[in-house]
Amino acid sequence: MATVRPFKAIRPAQKYADKVASLPYDVMNRQEASKMAAENPYSFLHICRSEIDLPHQKDPYDKSVYEKARENIANFLDKGIFTQDEEPALYIYRQVMDGRVQTGIVGTVSVDEYQNNTIKKHEFTRVEKELDRIRHFDVCDANTEPVFLTYRDDKRIRVLIEGWASGRKPTYDFTGAGGIRHTLWVVDDPQTIESLTSLFGEIPSLYIADGHHRSASACKVGLKRREETPDYTGEEEFNFFMAVIFPDADLHIFDYNRVVKDLNGNTVESLMEKIKAAGFKIDKKGEDVYRPEAKHCFGMFLEGNWYRLTAKEEIIPDHVIDSLDVAILQNKILGPILGIEDPRTDKRIDFVGGIRGLEELEKRCREDMKIAFAVHPVEIEDLLTVSDNDLVMPPKSTWFEPKLGSGLFLHQL
């Protein structure tokens, strides 16, 4: 059963919330972060991407970068930009994007339940990215950004959350980058907190939607602190890490598309013949953008034209992973025909989140790529099924929007 605990959040004073809030650390590079924060001394990018305040430091993983993040947190607290709640609370966090609403709970979850797979995963992690956030969390003595979790919708939790939010004025309510509205309520009533934690305690599993590296890093920091505190009781804050937990019914997964640099020695004609031989029906759609309308349909953009590729039933495996469209595309076209054997490391392939639109695929094909593939989005139930079976999604399978606002809450370890 899932543990969700209240905590004493470090968070922006109300008047600074809209200025502090930023995109997550991992959706931009250093140059983009510098530009975003250039005219805003309150931006959380000064903490989650603190290398922007050290222009002389070229190594983003140098010890000085993490020390600068810790220094900036202390400065925000000293100046009253940040405050810390005096009593543990849960937080209702709502995001609205293009009229679509997702409402969840911010709390802390258990390191042990990450270890025993009560908190389920669907991605591999990379060691270097884990090490970065381990150092960041450890030096800052805080989970500085939350993990994005989901659960199978529970009407009782939804009713309790909506009842609290509908009857009270929010602590924060502003529109941030990308037109995303962020609204937050502090749940400080002990009885309501008890009700929510009890209901989550009846949920068999939580699922990582986004933030596998943050989860793994937060867990390893907690285990490191245990080694350093041999008489730990299990109740210390380092035994828990911060998460935003949304019901699955609220979430929207965008497509995650592919662009490839060349045709791997094929002509257009030979490529088409090989795709047909691999088990796809090809329909030319012309110059107008074609978006796949169903599972097992793909868009292909090549030399100014869009094509619909439809996988024939006989090539669709009866397997939870191999039947995903991203897997069919990799196993039938990208690997055997275009020579992309390992999409995690091959420099000839790149990935484009669906939030950028299919026009971005056309743009990339005009600039630096030769061919693009548009994929029908993975469904949330597919992700949950993969996680329940302790399997791993193919790389770059899911793109969640909206992204969580960073800087609205920190969890002190």
pLDDT value at position 229?
96
Radius of gyration in angstroms for the set of CA atoms belonging to the chain, rounded to a whole number: 23
Q: Is residue 212 part of a domain?
A: yes
181 and 263 belong to one structural domain: no
Is residue 38 a contact partner of residue 109, using CB atoms and an 8 Å limit? no
203 and 243 belong to one structural domain: yes
What tens digit of pLDDT does each residue of 326-345 get?
999 999 999 999 999 999 88
% of the chain with per-residue pLDDT over 70: 100
pLDDT value at position 126?
83
Q: Is residue 139 part of a domain?
A: yes
Cα–Cα distances in angstroms (integers) from residue 402 to residues 22, 96, 322, 406, in the given order: 12, 8, 28, 12
Q: CA 58 to CA 56: how far, in whole Å?
A: 6
247 and 315 belong to one structural domain: no
Q: What are the tokens at 128?
A: 């270097």
46 and 11 belong to one structural domain: yes
199 and 297 belong to one structural domain: no
Q: Is residue 46 part of a domain?
A: yes
Eight-class DSSP state of 11: E
Eight-class DSSP state of 377: P
Place of tokens 């039947």: 323
What tens digit of pLDDT does each residue of 223-269 get?
999 999 999 999 999 999 999 999 999 999 999 999 999 999 999 99
Give the three-class secondary structure for 85: coil
Q: Is residue 387 part of a domain?
A: no
Structurally, the chain folds into a number of domains equal to 2
233 and 280 belong to one structural domain: no
Q: At what angle do helices 127-140 and 63-78 cross, to 10 degrees?
A: 40
Range of the domain at 331: 256-376
What pTM did the predictor assign?
Answer: 0.91
34 and 180 belong to one structural domain: yes
Q: Is residue 74 part of a domain?
A: yes
Query: When comparing pLDDT for 315 and 30, which is higher?
Result: 315
Identity at 320, one-letter amino acid code:
V
* pLDDT surpasses 90 at 57: no
45 and 133 belong to one structural domain: yes
Beta strands in 223-268 (DSSP E): 240-247, 253-254, 256-260
Q: Is residue 394 part of a domain?
A: no
% of the chain with per-residue pLDDT over 90: 89
193 and 289 belong to one structural domain: no
244 and 270 belong to one structural domain: no
169 and 310 belong to one structural domain: no
pLDDT value at position 378?
93
Nearest to 280 by CA among 256, 314, 318, 323: 314
What tens digit of pLDDT does each residue of 122-175 get?
988 888 889 999 999 999 999 999 999 999 999 999 999 999 999 899 999 999
Q: CA 405 to CA 321: how far, in whole Å?
A: 31
Is residue 107 a contact partner of residue 91, using CB atoms and an 8 Å limit? yes
211 and 264 belong to one structural domain: no
